[in-house]
Amino acid sequence: MTLLLRAIVAPDDAAAGDDLGLATVSAVAVAALASPWDKARIAGEPELLDHHRIIQSVFERVPCLPARFGSVFPDEDALHSRLAEREVDFASQLARLGHRCELAITCAWRDKGVNSPVSIVPASSGRAYLERGLQRTRSDREREVRAEAIVARLLSELATEPSFVRHRTCPRPAVAVSMSALVTRDEIGGISSRLERLGAQLPDVTIVVQGPWAPYTFAVSE
């Protein structure tokens, strides 16, 4: 039976996926929760969101490490073999991350103009073309500087260990900052309130906070 890996949990928590139709493959220190998967099935957005729904269901019950979408194994033996190779690392990560959640903090530019595509209208001259490119470069740099300033404000409001925060500035034209924060559940209310107040002070971005999610960004593989 082909299996799609969903999450890694402690062996004692393996039953958390029973009513979700998940198969359990146990090693000594951790267990893998996986769904039967038709290897001919073609994945798209519904399958991605279903992956998230299943992980969240597990995460609401027990500490878990979310699996990146797409790890398919031909059978339980193949999954067990891979799991056994990595179980010490996964057990360590579970102990460190399992009780924490990920908040996704996104700062989207309010100004629609920052997303304007490079003009497809031919420049009237070579000089005009270069000047347009220079203007674009300056604009990008200004946005990058502004995004870094926003990051500083966010970090100040989060007031957490640097290792518990990851961020990217200007990852896409619409987004100034994409940040992930590793928090405890009892910190979420306070953080959300502080970020809401911060959002009211920032005229150029809209802050969107999502979560709590399983710690996708902080669960890593070597």
Give least dist CB 43 to other proteins, A: 5
Eight-class DSSP state of 41 = P
- Beta-carbon contacts of 4 under 8 Å, excluding residues fewer than 6 positions away, are 34, 35, 36, 37, 51, 70, 71, 72
Cβ distance to other proteins smaller for residue 149 or 209: 209
Report the amino acid identity of residue 150: I
Cβ distance to other proteins smaller for residue 130 or 136: 136
Give least dist CB 91 to other proteins, A: 12
Give least dist CB 42 to other proteins, A: 4
Three-point CA angle 12, 88, 7, nearest 5°:
55
- The residue assigned the tokens 């420049």 is 123
Give least dist CB 165 to other proteins, A: 14
- Beta-carbon contacts of 144 under 8 Å, excluding residues fewer than 6 positions away, are 169, 170
Give least dist CB 29 to other proteins, A: 14
Phi-psi map region of 159: left, alpha, beta (phi>0 left; psi -120 to 50 alpha): left
Distances 49 to 45, 54, 56, 69, 89 between C-alpha atoms, Å: 6, 9, 10, 10, 27
In the complex, the residues that contact other proteins under the rule CB under 8 A are 2, 4-5, 8, 32, 37, 39, 41-45, 48, 51-52, 65-74, 78-79, 82-83, 85-86, 90, 93, 102, 104, 106, 108, 110, 112, 115-117, 172-175, 178, 180, 206, 208, 210, 213-214, 216-217, 219-222
Cβ distance to other proteins smaller for residue 73 or 195: 73
Cβ distance to other proteins smaller for residue 110 or 130: 110
Cβ distance to other proteins smaller for residue 62 or 83: 83
